[in-house]
Amino acid sequence: MDNQQLREKLLNLKNEAIALIQDAKSEAELERLRVVYLGRKGKINKFVGNIKKGDESQKREFGTLLNDAKIAVQEALESKTKNPPASSEDWIDVTLPAKRPPLGHLHPVTQAIDEITKIFERIGFVRARYPEVDYDYYVFSALNMPANHPARDEWETFFIKSPKHPKYGGLVLTTHTSNGQVREMERVGKPPIRMLNIAKCYRRQQDATHTSMFHQFEILVIDENITIQHLKGTLDYFAREFYGKEISARLRPFHFQFTEPSFEVDFTCTICQGKGQLDTGERCRFCKSGWLEVGGAGMVHPAVLQAGGIDPKMYTGFAFGMGVERAYRLKPGLKLDDIRLLYSNNLEFLEQF
- 97 Cβ neighbours under 8 A, 6+ residues apart: none
Please give the order of strands across the beta sheet that includes 291-300. Answer: 126-128, 193-202, 213-223, 316-323, 291-300, 259-268, 249-256
In this structure, the number of other CB atoms found within 10 A of the CB of residue 298 comes to 25
The CA distance from 321 to 262, in Å, is 12
Distance CA 264, CA 322 (A): 11
Nearest of 133, 130, 135 to residue 168 by alpha carbon: 135
CA angle 282, 285, 290 (to 5 degrees): 85
Residue 289: phi, psi to the nearest 5? -145, -5
Is 260 labeled as ligand-binding?
yes
The three-state secondary structure class of 294 is: strand
Beta bridge partners of 298: 262, 319
* Residue 192 dihedral angles phi and psi, to the nearest 5°: -80, 155
Give the whole-angstrom CA distance, residue 174 versus residue 181. 13
Distance CA 288, CA 165 (A): 48
Which residues have a Cβ under 8 Å from the Cβ of 120 and sit 6 or more positions away? Answer: 196, 219, 238
Taking the mean position of all CA atoms in its chain, how far away is CA 277?
34
DSSP assignment of 155-206: G-PPEEEEEEETTTEEEEE-SSTTHHHHHHHHHH-SS-EEEEEEEEEE-S--
Numbered residues of the known binding site for Mg(2+) = 260
Numbered residues of the known binding site = 260
